[in-house]
Amino acid sequence: MLHPHRTGHVPVVLVHGTASSPARWAELINELENDPRFWHDYEIWFFIYNTGNPIAYSASLLRDALTKAIADLDPEGKDPGLKQMVVIGHSQGGLLAKMTVIDTGMHLWPFTVSPNELDVSAETRETLTHALIIKPLPFVKRVIFVATPHRGSYQALGFLGSLVSWLVNLPGRLTKTKRRLLDSSEAGSIPRFSERHTDRHRQHEPEQYFYQKFSGHPDCGGGYSKFNYSCGQRRAAR
């Protein structure tokens, strides 16, 4: 948070993009700091993450962090401002923002078996289901995308391409996941798993599995635009 939370104020969560940091928002923050109309109703929060991690994993950390913050600040659920959250994402951050408001069902689930039938450890199963089977956060009412690659990017830095690259690049505490998923691939549970999918130079291309599924998922405002757009419900003025 830029400042301590004030009851009734709406959090505007800024999520930076690839190889960036909250410093990316400095110019915007300077403008807002001098706008009393903004501070009358809103406040700024930041989400900081390692942009080298897989998008689905980073998005799960964002959802967990926001859920925990709401629970800590308003355990009784009486603060109206915390029920009207706005999330703004730049570049890769926009993909994380999107994953706070969509219901994916099994759309991103790439396996030929259900989660309960997947032959992996309980930790791996929980990680995969938490990251790939998503429900919208009820307190996020608007998301705003800034230069977000909804359909993938041919730039090689920082974006998740295939599911397998997502698994290969998991943080160190989950390195055993790759071996378990390789075993599942050999058993036929992951039809797309191959050496080609682990090529880091290809993992960010729009043709890769994650982007094909992710860009094809219905969003909260209809079809995607190649330009910036927002979706959600406008908060009534006080």
User: With 60 as the cut, is the pLDDT of residue 74 above it?
Assistant: yes
Average predicted confidence (pLDDT) for the chain:
76
CA distance linking residue 108 with residue 83, whole number of Å: 27
Residue 228 has a pLDDT of 43
Among residues of the chain, what percentage have pLDDT more than 90? 45
pLDDT, tens digit, 9 for 90 and up, residues 12-50? 999 999 889 999 899 999 999 899 999 999 999 999 998
Residue 149: pLDDT band with limits 50, 70, 90 = confident
Phi, psi of 187, deg, nearest 5: -85, -5
Query: In the chain, where are the structural domains located?
Result: 10-113+126-152+211-232
Which residue has 């009734």 as its token pair? 8
pTM of the model: 0.77
Q: Which residues contact residue 219 at a Cβ distance below 8 angstroms, ignoring those fewer than 6 apart? A: 98, 102, 231
For the sheet with 230-232, list strands across it.
42-47, 10-15, 85-90, 140-146, 230-232
Look at the domain 10-113+126-152+211-232 and name its fold.
Rossmann fold (3.40.50)
